[in-house]
């Protein structure tokens, strides 16, 4: 095969570059001497730092780590990782101390029973998430999702991680180069060289000469050196829908060595954005993401420091120097163009409200690994499919994130009022909200089996934020068998929450044990 894909070049060594390298190399076992399907080279600048934020993952990361052959014990030890069971939102609905949760576990009996209409028909019900999953009770109590005897990657309740992004890239680099046969070159790419047919033929580096390749993966961060700068694939801003474009990130020490570590991300809404609060095993990562059109940097900094003062004390607030990160919310018009595919920040970025960036890297690398074109001719077919799929993912991210803002009843600042204007709401989201006034979202609302956010996630946000769906069951039918069955499920869920609260260790307690003894290997 003359145009066989025999060398893949990844440019960029942040989480996107190394995770992509690991997933592709592990899938094709390129370290195997018996069969060398292609060479995988990662070129990383020794001078340009990685973005180094990215502290929350989805549960999908467990499968990804397993797939690339990393031990969970090593991952937790090396990346200061902790367990994440979902997100706890504060002040998003009214701004007066309201709270609700988006847990990672789907509602009890989710495959067969839609509990939302039954919950809506109840009076004096607990919050929706509390009624349908035991998970929220666990993260309220800072409990872990498993025990030390639970094997690696297995769980009592579903979970992802909080991690140190810099340490994660370093661990992946080591694993890729030592176990998976990835070649690592430290050099700055200074030029992209085109072939006669318009593909990229090679990249010129400052200290390793020209590197030719058949497929180029652009992981150069917001620079988007190959797809954006070289191919000039247009960037599509999404700021008309999602206004946040600046983040202030800080690292805050724990006040006490044995301070409880929350097993969820906390997100506290502010007047022009929101503050994330993430507990790693060694420190907290706290940051303010906001719209620079609605608040000055000084005011945003003051809000962040006030939050740190309130939750970590005066000394902590006085010791931090927040790092400012500016970004344009949006994504490229297409992600795979000719023989170049962009993954990570180079393909786009939208604020981290549901920590959807690393999962997109996992999905992108997974699809490339699985559908890796054997020849240049096949690449165009794969590229078209890839672009269709990822456009759908981006649209869903935009709609799902916007849902959090649209449902808010806050009108205490121009930011919240602007978030409610009709032109700031994607058309599809407006349609969905109209539909959901008359029936709860359920399985048929999912457009594909690969939707990024399951219907359960929509239910958690809608009913956590007080959305009203006209109840499907009238009072006479409430006595019916369906309602009795739902009541039994609510009761079972409460009993299971109680049981898990007794059985599971604290998040910090388990992390300490993992550091000392490790999990059982699978």
Ligand X SMILES: Cc1cc2nc3c(=O)[nH]c(=O)nc-3n(C[C@H](O)[C@H](O)[C@H](O)COP(=O)(O)OP(=O)(O)OC[C@H]3O[C@@H](n4cnc5c(N)ncnc54)[C@H](O)[C@@H]3O)c2cc1C
User: Nearer Cβ to ligand X, position 168 or 436?
Assistant: 168
Residue 452 binds ligand X, judged by CB under 6 A: no
Asked if residue 102 lies in contact with residue 90, where contact means CB atoms within 8 angstroms, the answer is no
352, 373, 464, 471: which one binds ligand X (CB under 6 A):
352
Residue 225 binds ligand X, judged by CB under 6 A: yes
Beta bridge partners, 90, equal: 99, 268
**CA–CA separation, 19 vs 3, rounded Å?**
27
Q: How far is the CB of 57 from ligand X (least distance, A)?
A: 6
76, 129, 189, 511: which one binds ligand X (CB under 6 A):
189
Token representation of residue 96: 């007066």
How far is the CA of 460 from the CAs of 56, 254, 359, 374, 513, in angstroms? Answer: 19, 30, 20, 42, 32
Q: How far is the CB of 365 from ligand X (least distance, A)?
A: 11
Asked if residue 140 lies in contact with residue 85, where contact means CB atoms within 8 angstroms, the answer is no
**# residues near ligand X by CB under 6 A:** 39
Asked if residue 424 lies in contact with residue 378, where contact means CB atoms within 8 angstroms, the answer is no
User: Nearer Cβ to ligand X, position 267 or 455?
Assistant: 267
**Window contacting ligand X (CB under 6 A); options: 22-30, 53-61, 376-384, 410-418:** 53-61
How far is the CA of 477 from the CAs of 21, 132, 442, 483, in angstroms? Answer: 56, 21, 20, 8
10, 22, 28, 54: which one binds ligand X (CB under 6 A):
54
Residue 142 binds ligand X, judged by CB under 6 A: no
29, 37, 39, 48: which one binds ligand X (CB under 6 A):
48
Place of tokens 């989710």: 110
User: Nearer Cβ to ligand X, position 20 or 339?
Assistant: 20
**CA–CA separation, 168 vs 471, rounded Å?**
46
Q: How far is the CB of 58 from ligand X (least distance, A)?
A: 8
Residue 12 binds ligand X, judged by CB under 6 A: yes
Asked if residue 338 lies in contact with residue 192, where contact means CB atoms within 8 angstroms, the answer is no
User: Nearer Cβ to ligand X, position 54 or 441?
Assistant: 54
Q: How far is the CB of 52 from ligand X (least distance, A)?
A: 6
Which helix (H) or strand (E) segment is 354 a member of?
A: none
9, 10, 56, 231: which one binds ligand X (CB under 6 A):
56
User: Nearer Cβ to ligand X, position 138 or 278?
Assistant: 278
Which helix (H) or strand (E) segment is 420 a member of?
A: none
Distance, C-alpha 170 to centroid of its chain = 19
**CA–CA separation, 226 vs 346, rounded Å?**
9
Q: How far is the CB of 50 from ligand X (least distance, A)?
A: 3
Q: How far is the CB of 359 from ligand X (least distance, A)?
A: 6
Residue 354 binds ligand X, judged by CB under 6 A: no
How many CB atoms neighbour CB 411 within 10 A? Answer: 11
**Window contacting ligand X (CB under 6 A); options: 10-18, 106-114, 315-323, 465-473:** 10-18
**Window contacting ligand X (CB under 6 A); options: 15-23, 67-75, 304-312, 374-382:** 15-23
Which helix (H) or strand (E) segment is 38 a member of?
A: none
Residue 221 binds ligand X, judged by CB under 6 A: yes
Q: How far is the CB of 49 from ligand X (least distance, A)?
A: 7
5, 42, 51, 510: which one binds ligand X (CB under 6 A):
51
Binding mask 330-349 for ligand X (x = CB under 6 A): --------------xxx---
10, 13, 107, 404: which one binds ligand X (CB under 6 A):
13
**Window contacting ligand X (CB under 6 A); options: 43-51, 109-117, 429-437, 491-499:** 43-51
CA atoms within 13 A on the CB side of 459: 31
User: Nearer Cβ to ligand X, position 56 or 134?
Assistant: 56
24, 272, 357, 465: which one binds ligand X (CB under 6 A):
357
Asked if residue 240 lies in contact with residue 423, where contact means CB atoms within 8 angstroms, the answer is yes
How far is the CA of 318 from the CAs of 36, 154, 277, in angstroms? Answer: 55, 41, 17
Q: How far is the CB of 77 from ligand X (least distance, A)?
A: 20
How many CB atoms neighbour CB 47 within 10 A? Answer: 9
Residue 220 binds ligand X, judged by CB under 6 A: yes
For CA atoms 356, 359, 363, 365, give the dihedral sign. Answer: positive
SS (H, E, C) 359-395: HHHHHHHHHHHHHCCCEHHHHHHHHHHHHHHHHHHHH
Residues 238-297 that bind ligand X (CB under 6 A): 247, 249, 287, 289
- By CB atoms closer than 10 A (0-12, 13-18, 19+), residue 108 is middle
CA atoms within 13 A on the CB side of 413: 17
Q: How far is the CB of 437 from ligand X (least distance, A)?
A: 32
Q: Which residues bind ligand X (CB under 6 A)?
A: 11-17, 43-45, 48, 50-51, 53-57, 165, 188-189, 219-221, 223, 225, 247, 249, 287, 289, 325, 327, 344-346, 352, 355, 357-358
């Amino acid at each position: 095969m003359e145009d066989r894909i025999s060398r893949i070049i990844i440019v960029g060594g942040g989480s996107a570059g190394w995770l992509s390298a690991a997933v592709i190399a592990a899938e094709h076992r390129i370290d195997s001497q018996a069969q060398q399907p292609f060479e995988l080279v990662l070129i990383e600048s020794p001078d340009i730092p990685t973005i180094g934020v990215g502290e929350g993952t989805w549960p999908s990361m467990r499968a990804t780590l397993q797939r690339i052959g990393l031990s969970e014990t090593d991952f937790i030890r090396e990346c200061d990782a902790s367990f994440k069971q979902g997100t706890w939102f504060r002040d998003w609905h009214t701004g007066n101390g309201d709270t609700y949760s988006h847990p990672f576990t789907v509602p009890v009996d989710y495959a067969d029973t839609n509990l939302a209409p039954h919950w809506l028909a109840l009076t004096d019900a607990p919050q929706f998430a509390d009624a349908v999953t035991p998970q929220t009770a666990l993260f309220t109590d800072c409990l872990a999702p498993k025990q030390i005897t639970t094997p690696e990657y297995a769980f009592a309740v579903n979970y992802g991680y909080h991690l140190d992004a810099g340490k994660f890239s370093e661990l992946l680099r080591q694993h890729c180069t030592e176990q998976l046969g990835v070649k690592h070159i430290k050099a700055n790419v200074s030029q992209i060289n085109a072939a006669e047919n318009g593909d990229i033929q090679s990249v010129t580096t400052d200290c390793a000469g020209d590197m030719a390749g058949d497929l180029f993966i652009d992981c150069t961060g917001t620079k988007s050196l190959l797809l954006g700068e070289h191919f000039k694939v247009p960037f599509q801003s999404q700021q008309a829908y999602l206004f946040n474009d600046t983040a202030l990130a800080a690292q805050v020490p724990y006040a006490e060595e044995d301070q409880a570590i929350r097993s969820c991300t906390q997100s506290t809404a502010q007047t022009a954005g929101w503050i994330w609060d993430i507990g790693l095993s060694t420190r907290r990562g706290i940051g303010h993401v906001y719209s620079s059109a609605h608040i000055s940097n000084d005011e945003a900094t003051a809000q962040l420091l006030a939050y740190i003062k309130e939750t970590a004390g005066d000394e902590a607030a006085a010791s931090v120097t927040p790092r400012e990160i500016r970004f344009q919310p949006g994504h490229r018009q297409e992600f795979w163009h000719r023989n170049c595919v962009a993954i990570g920040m180079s393909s786009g970025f939208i604020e981290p409200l549901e920590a959807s960036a690393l999962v997109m890297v996992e999905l992108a690398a997974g699809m490339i690994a699985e559908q890796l074109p054997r020849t240049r001719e096949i690449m165009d077919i794969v590229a078209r499919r890839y672009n269709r799929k990822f456009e759908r993912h981006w649209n869903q991210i935009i709609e799902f994130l916007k849902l959090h803002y649209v449902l808010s009843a806050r009108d205490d600042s121009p930011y919240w009022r602007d978030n409610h204007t009709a032109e700031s709401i994607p058309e599809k989201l407006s349609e969905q909200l109209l539909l959901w006034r008359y029936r709860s979202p359920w399985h048929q609302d999912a457009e594909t089996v690969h939707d990024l956010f399951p219907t359960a996630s929509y239910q958690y946000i809608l009913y956590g934020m007080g959305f009203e769906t006209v109840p499907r069951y009238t009072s006479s039918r409430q006595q019916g068998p369906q309602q009795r069955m739902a009541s039994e499920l609510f009761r079972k869920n409460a009993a299971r929450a109680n049981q898990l609260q007794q059985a599971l260790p604290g998040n910090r307690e388990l992390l300490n044990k993992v550091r000392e003894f490790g999990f059982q290997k699978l």
